[in-house]
Amino acid sequence: MASFIWFLSVVFYAKLMCAESTDKLVSLDCQGEIHGVYGEDSLLKCSVKSSGDPVKIIMVSWWRTGEDTPLFVVSNGEIVQQKDQRFSLAHPGSSIDVSFLVKNTKRTDEGKYQCQVITDSGEDQSVISLYVIATYSQPDMSSVPEKDIVEDTEITLFCNASGGYPVGMVHWYGVFGTNWTRSAVTTVEKTTDKRVNLSSKYTLRASSSFPTYRCSVLNSKGVEEGKAELHLPFREQSVKATDPEKGALNVIRMQRIQT
Ligand SMILES: *[C@@H]1O[C@H](CO)[C@@H](O)[C@H](O)[C@H]1NC(C)=O
Ligand SMILES: *[C@@H]1O[C@H](CO)[C@@H](O)[C@H](O)[C@H]1NC(C)=O
Ligand SMILES: *[C@@H]1O[C@H](CO)[C@@H](O)[C@H](O)[C@H]1NC(C)=O
């Protein structure tokens, strides 16, 4: 009985000490939200604050919240768990800065991360949210039919941009800056790595008086990330061999249109 009471008091004392040190001696100060970019490095900033003497860090662990195994653990200066080569501490060996570095950030890295730190003077933990955006590829424009377009026939133009996030927009313009966006339909395809492809389709009647179309890809904030231009590939008119002078004139006229 006596030993049991002794045990209880030890547990109670330990709890008291722990609570005291968490409240007073050591705290973990983390940036609440980080905005990362696909393909770049993301720094999840956390530092250990102590009110008294400098503390010695015994263990640092980083977790995805809700997961059973940690992403990264350093115990007494040794890496004992590293789930992915892209994960590391930004300043290994520092007794203050326990920031987590995610190299070559992926869209699937988006989520909540928990940092836990155990020092010789107490422990603390904190949660950071990582958001990851992705820039769209430069758009590719194409036409159906691909070439030999005949005057006054129906054609379809495409403007595709891939690998962005969040969902963006495609705007269409004609040769004199006419805004054709309302005549186009943009579809969004999700990629397996949680990005999106945009494919915008614009169907029109071909006219050599309006031979050029432009499209512009904007991110979710309306900022242009890329643009492309397409000159409708009209069928070359056959030049009549019987009238060499007129034929030469036609060639000159066509060159003017093309340049
Ligand atoms: C754009 O996407 C459409 C529909 O997915 C496809 O038919 C077309 O070939 C694509 N164009 C280019 C240039 O990738
Ligand atoms: C073109 O039209 C779209 C859709 O109506 C609009 O969002 C966009 O701002 C217009 N572009 C310009 C340059 O006005
Ligand atoms: C998205 O675009 C990329 C690059 O064009 C392509 O490789 C991928 O298959 C596309 N994914 C989907 C779901 O459309």
Which CATH number goes with the domain that contains 162?
Answer: 2.60.40.10
Q: Which of 133, 127, 107, 117 is nearest to 66 (CA)?
A: 127
Instruction: Examine residue 45 and state whether it is found in any structural domain, yes or no.
Output: yes
Q: Which residues of 98-122 are buried (b: 16+ CB within 10 A; e: fewer)?
A: bbbbbeebbbebbeebbbbbbbebb
* pLDDT at residue 23, rounded to an integer: 52
Instruction: Examine residue 199 and state whether it is found in any structural domain, yes or no.
Output: yes
- From 133, 154, 189, give the residue that closes a domain: 133
Q: Which of 213, 209, 211, 207 is nearest to 183 (CA)?
A: 213
* Residue 228 in contact with ligand 1 by CB distance below 6 A: no
Q: Which ligand 3 atom is at minimum distance from the Cα of 192?
A: 13
Q: Which of 81, 28, 68 is nearest to 50 (CA)?
A: 28
Query: Nearest 5°: CA angle at 191, between 187 and 194?
Result: 110
* Residue 191 in contact with ligand 3 by CB distance below 6 A: yes
CA gap 46, 124 in Å, rounded: 11
* pLDDT at residue 52, rounded to an integer: 81
Q: Which ligand 2 atom is at minimum distance from the Cα of 179?
A: 1
> pTM here?
0.80
Instruction: Examine residue 259 and state whether it is found in any structural domain, yes or no.
Output: no
110 with 18, same domain: the answer is yes
Phi, psi of 21 (to 5 degrees): -70, -35
102 with 19, same domain: the answer is yes
Ligand nearest to the CA of 186: 1
* Residue 179 in contact with ligand 2 by CB distance below 6 A: yes
128 with 146, same domain: the answer is no
Testing ligand 1's pocket by substitution, the residue of 143, 156, 162, 199 carrying the most ligand atoms inside 8 A of its CB is 199
**Would you say how long the chain is, in residues?**
259
12 with 102, same domain: the answer is yes
Digit-by-digit pLDDT tens for the chain (259 residues) are 444 444 334 333 444 444 444 455 899 999 999 999 999 999 999 999 988 888 999 999 999 999 999 999 999 999 999 999 999 999 998 989 999 999 999 999 999 999 999 999 999 999 999 999 999 999 999 999 999 999 999 999 999 999 999 999 999 999 888 999 999 999 999 999 999 999 999 999 999 999 999 999 999 999 999 999 999 999 887 444 444 444 444 444 444 444 4
Instruction: Examine residue 109 and state whether it is found in any structural domain, yes or no.
Output: yes
Instruction: Examine residue 201 and state whether it is found in any structural domain, yes or no.
Output: yes
Structurally, the chain folds into a number of domains equal to 2
* Residue 50 in contact with ligand 1 by CB distance below 6 A: no
Compute, in angstroms, the gap from residue 160 CA to the centroid of ligand 3: 10
167 with 103, same domain: the answer is no
Instruction: Examine residue 18 and state whether it is found in any structural domain, yes or no.
Output: yes
The range of the structural domain enclosing residue 194 comes to 140-231
Compute, in angstroms, the gap from residue 182 CA to the centroid of ligand 2: 8
CA gap 189, 155 in Å, rounded: 23
Compute, in angstroms, the gap from residue 225 CA to the centroid of ligand 2: 15
7 with 129, same domain: the answer is yes
Task: Name the closest-CA residue to atom 2, ligand 1.
Answer: 199
118 with 47, same domain: the answer is yes
126 with 12, same domain: the answer is yes
163 with 117, same domain: the answer is no
Mention every residue, 6+ apart, whose C-beta is less than 8 A from residue 100.
Answer: 43, 44, 46, 62, 71, 72, 87, 88, 89, 90, 113, 115
167 with 218, same domain: the answer is yes
Which structure tokens are listed for 2? Answer: 């006596």
* pLDDT at residue 194, rounded to an integer: 97
Maximum distance among all Cα pairs of the chain, rounded to whole angstroms: 121
Mention every residue, 6+ apart, whose C-beta is less than 8 A from residue 12.
Answer: none
CA gap 203, 155 in Å, rounded: 6
38 with 110, same domain: the answer is yes
- From 79, 102, 133, give the residue that closes a domain: 133
* Residue 97 in contact with ligand 1 by CB distance below 6 A: no
* pLDDT at residue 24, rounded to an integer: 54
Ligand nearest to the CA of 160: 1
Ligand nearest to the CA of 144: 1
90 with 154, same domain: the answer is no
Q: Which of 102, 114, 127 is nearest to 36 (CA)?
A: 102
- From 133, 161, 188, give the residue that closes a domain: 133
Instruction: Examine residue 27 and state whether it is found in any structural domain, yes or no.
Output: yes
CA gap 173, 139 in Å, rounded: 14
Instruction: Examine residue 246 and state whether it is found in any structural domain, yes or no.
Output: no
